[in-house]
Amino acid sequence: MELLHHLQFGFGVALAPMNLLFCFAGVLIGTLVGVLPGLGPPATISLLMPISFGLPAETALIMLAGIYYGAQYGGSTTSILINIPGEASAVMTCLDGYQMARQGRAGPALGISAFGSFIGGTASIIGLMVLAPFLARFALKFGPPEYFGLMFLGMVVLTFLSKGSMIKSFISIAIGLFIGTVGIDLVDGVQRFTFGAPVLMDGIGLVPVGMGLFGIAEVLTNLEEKKVREVFRSEIKGLLPTLKDWKESAGPILRGSLIGFFLGILPGGGAILGAFTSYAVEKRLARQPETFGKGAIQGVAGPETANNAATGGAMIPLLSLGIPSNVSMALLLGVMLIHGVRPNAFLIKEHPQIFWGVICSMYVGNVLLIVLNLPLIGVWVRLLKVRYGVLFPMILIFCLVGSFTINSNHYEVLIMLIFGAVGYIMRKAEFPQAPLVFALVLGPIMENALRQSLLHSRGKFSIFVTRPICLVLIMAGILILLIPLVSQVRGKRARIMEEAQGE
């Protein structure tokens, strides 16, 4: 009965005219972002942050969350029609979705992707409603040492799951932690790394950094590419899957919902990991695995369900513990902190309109997305024909205006341009950008937790090993760090044994 009362309250918030309007705007923009390759949710959320500052906290989060899960819907359209994933999590959809389109089955591929996305998103919202309050009650046992350990573990897991070199990921984290120290120290009240510049006394803002790293850098990277997008030109018909399609897709949709939801909770690319894992599981369980990659509808249903189910899973650690599981969640955490909302165990009690309003808005948003996606397929196809040369000046203008209007300070524009260049260099050098943003958002919170712990223990680091939860979290992080080293040592030992046997 208590849950029903909370849901009634949440839907009252979500269906308020203003919140409903911004929910619609968020999912529409998110779908558009997913459809147009080259501009992902992190970049779009960064661009729209300045708009969100003038809105109530719950309205801003409803809109920005809508962009995040709406992009998962839109990404499948480009994967199926032009074999280019609009979103990284839609990579696996390309394998069978595009082949279905070539066989004249683009309609069923788009249809099962939309229905699977809706089912996966709905299942994840139910899981979010059930698990988030439980985690919040568990988080009541957390003090500063436990939060430090949890953030340490989150950064380590993110680094472990990031593609590419772990060393480069650690360098990105170090840069982000350093940027987070710029400004006035909250404990001692002294200036750190400001060099006397007034603009740096409040620290380096998340908005210009995010706009630069994701918006400007994305534009610079895309301008280098000379790919010509060829949209599949056959008439798209029969969007409703047949009974046979549903029979083949029912299992993948169910499994994809569970896989995506639980992997979405993990720090790192939850939606991407969910889609890849779902595809691998379905191929292994299939009676005819040889059909995968040649137009198997299971290869569309499973990953598309999983990447949308991951969106609900990603909200659990954010709303209950204040720990983002991916870069989009880190940006949402930044927005919450700017609005004066600290997500933790007390969020449900202190800000129920945010907790239950955002959860219920996700269900409303999923309904809006299923209504939007199927009838507007023709519109999305036409948008795919828009040249990037038309889009990128608009993106640049939005970045420049958005970064200036936050504080009406032209130095914010300069900071954004500097980080645009930094983001471009990081992409060329294959340094991941997500760990930098994570560290920038979590660094100050982590530092405060560390210093509060040491103040409480009078400078003794033993506080981190004498508290069981904190010890478990830190040991888990250290073990994850040791995994690559153990694998490397084993590999070297195997090579030495092979060389010795060869002699």
Q: Concatenate the DSSP letters of all residues of 355-408 into one string.
A: HHHHHHHHHHHHHHHHHHHTTTHHHHHHHTTS-HHHHHHHHHHHHHHHHHHTTT
Compute the CA torsion angle 446, 171, 34, 129 (nearest 10 deg). -30
pTM of model > 0.85: no
Neighbours of 263 (CB within 10 A): 27
Q: How far is Cα 173 from Cα 132, in angstroms, rounded to an integer?
A: 28
In the numeric block, which tokens belong to residue 451? 């210093």
Given this model, what pLDDT does residue 438 score?
Answer: 78
Please state which of the ranges 168-177, 294-303, 324-333, 462-471 shows the lowest mean pLDDT: 324-333
- The better pLDDT of the pair 293, 362 is held by 362
Could you tell me which residues are beta bridge partners of residue 264? none
Given this model, what pLDDT does residue 19 score?
Answer: 92
Average pLDDT of the chain is 79
Nearest CA among 298, 263, 264 for reference residue 280: 298
Q: How far is Cα 151 from Cα 149, in angstroms, rounded to an integer?
A: 6
Give the pLDDT band of residue 62 (cuts 50, 70, 90): very high
Give the pLDDT band of residue 501 (cuts 50, 70, 90): low
Distances in whole angstroms, Cα of residue 106 to Cα of each of 97, 100, 231, 246, 376? 7, 6, 12, 15, 14
Neighbours of 394 (CB within 10 A): 9
Q: Are 54 and 94 in contact (CB under 8 A)?
A: no
Could you tell me which residues are beta bridge partners of residue 91? none
144-161 and 166-181 helices cross at what angle (nearest 10)?
A: 140
Please state which of the ranges 74-78, 83-87, 252-256 shows the lowest mean pLDDT: 83-87
Please state which of the ranges 152-161, 229-238, 247-256 shows the lowest mean pLDDT: 229-238
Rg of the Cα atoms in the chain = 23
SS3 annotation, 236-282: CCCCCCCHHHHHHHHHHHHHHHHHHHHHHCCCCCHHHHHHHHHHHHH
Domains of the chain, residue spans:
2-160+246-394+461-502
Distances in whole angstroms, Cα of residue 191 to Cα of each of 183, 186, 201, 203, 479? 6, 10, 7, 10, 36
Q: How far is Cα 115 from Cα 168, in angstroms, rounded to an integer?
A: 39
Give the pLDDT band of residue 488 (cuts 50, 70, 90): low
Instruction: State the greatest distance between any 2 C-alpha atoms of the chain, in Å, as a whole number.
Output: 78
If you average pLDDT over residues 105-120, what whole number do you get?
85
Q: Are 272 and 227 in contact (CB under 8 A)?
A: no
Given this model, what pLDDT does residue 139 score?
Answer: 67
DSSP assignment of 190-228 equals -EES-TT-GGGTT---HHHHHIIIIIIHHHHHHHH----
For 324, the 3-state DSSP assignment is coil
Give the pLDDT band of residue 301 (cuts 50, 70, 90): confident
Distances in whole angstroms, Cα of residue 494 to Cα of each of 114, 126, 491, 498? 48, 47, 5, 6
Please state which of the ranges 105-109, 262-266, 276-280, 379-383 shows the lowest mean pLDDT: 379-383
Q: What is the pLDDT of residues 331-371, one digit of tens each?
A: 888 888 888 888 776 777 788 888 888 888 988 988 888 88
Residue given tokens 């060329």 in the structure block = 428
Q: Are 259 and 127 in contact (CB under 8 A)?
A: no
